[in-house]
Amino acid sequence: MRRDRRPGVSGTSTPPLPRRALAELLGSAFLAALVIGSGIAAQELSPGNVGLQLFENAAATAAGLFTIILMFGPVSAGHFNPVVSVVDASYGGISWRDALTYVPAQVAGCTLGAIAANGMFTKAAISLSTHHRASSAHLFGEVIATAGLVLVIFTLARTRRSHMAPAAVGAYIGAAYFFTSSASFANPAITVGRMYSNTFAGIAPASVPGFVLAQLVGGAAAVLALRVLYPDHTPADAAEVVLPRGGPVDIAIAMLPESTSRE
């Protein structure tokens, strides 16, 4: 019989909400710092070569996202994304109260991360981006990027492969930098954070509302697809998004292959 890893079930110890919110804030801050910081570094290391700059930015983001989820996932599950938190709450993986606490922590974290990235490269702490991105093609790209990200995360949880989520999420975002026209923000919090850096990874404030709306539409589209593909998706499945929340024993069990994680 498989061990139940839902919060508060079978000995699982779910960290208090303030601690989880702090993990979401810190993880989101690191996420924004690595996305923006690597974008600034790429711009300085490869001037005039946009393709190489994008590759450098994507590679750093993919690798960094993998490690950030591993760092903070055992505390908060490693959402770092309001769309993921809202979808998780809609499935019962976390409460709506938790989601409404996570979202401002994620936005604040991404804003702090943008300021930190600017400071590391001797830029102004806050410099509003002038990089306009909200064309119809970009917005369509954000719908696709966000829908794909949500599908990756929740499909892995439903099929008991959450131990693969850190690598899968990093790989997907790294690939989506190239296969989407928008460079795959796929995250309202990071979209807001990137507004505060007038650098390679920035986005103009006027483009932010369209991007956020497109991301919400992508999340909703993914939920519709999941309800068709996995109509029996349960709160117990959603509790493993992105990583299961709980004590070290439960996390260790979650990281084991399916064949070895049975009692």
**In the predicted structure, residue 246 carries a pLDDT above the cut 90:** no
* Residue 54 burial (CB count, 10 A): 18
Looking at residue 6, what is its pLDDT? Answer: 40
Q: Looking at residue 237, what is its pLDDT?
A: 84
- pLDDT, position 9: 36
For 110, 183, 248, the CA distances from 51, given in Å and listed in that order, are: 25, 12, 42
Q: List the CATH number of the domain containing 241.
A: 1.20.1080.10
pLDDT value of position 13: 74
State the pLDDT at residue 56.
96
Q: How high is the mean pLDDT of the chain?
A: 89
pLDDT at residue 259 is higher than 50: no
Query: Is residue 11's pLDDT more than 90?
Result: no
For the record, the structure tokens of 186 come out as: 């796929």
Mean pLDDT of 151-156: 96
In a domain, 3, yes or no: no
Question: In the prediction, which pLDDT does 240 show?
Answer: 85
pLDDT of residue 233: 83
User: pLDDT above 90 covers what percent of the chain?
Assistant: 80
Q: What is the pLDDT of residue 236?
A: 87
Phi–psi pair at 196, nearest 5 degrees? -90, 15
* Exposure string over 25-49, b if 16+ CB within 10 A, otherwise e: bbbbbbbbbbbbbbbbbbbeebeee
Instruction: Tell me if 239 is assigned to some domain.
Output: yes
Provide φ and ψ at 262, rounded to 5°: -115, 150
In one-letter notation, the amino acid at residue 259 is: S
In a domain, 6, yes or no: no
Total residues belonging to the chain = 263
Domain count within the chain: 1
What is the rounded average pLDDT of the residues 70-78?
94
**What confidence tens digit (pLDDT) does each residue in 12-64 have?**
578 999 999 999 999 999 999 999 999 999 999 999 999 999 999 999 999 99
Q: Is the pLDDT of residue 86 over 70?
A: yes
In this predicted structure, the answer to whether residue 159 has a pLDDT above a threshold of 50 is yes
Q: Which pLDDT does position 46 carry in this prediction?
A: 95
**114-140 mean pLDDT:** 95
| Tokens at 94, concatenated | 């976390």
In a 13 Å sphere around the CA of 117, the CA atoms on its Cβ side amount to 33
**Can you give the pLDDT at residue 14?**
84
Lowest average pLDDT, out of 9-13, 113-117, 120-124, 195-199, goes to 9-13
pLDDT at position 12, please? 54
What is the residue range of 222's domain? 17-258
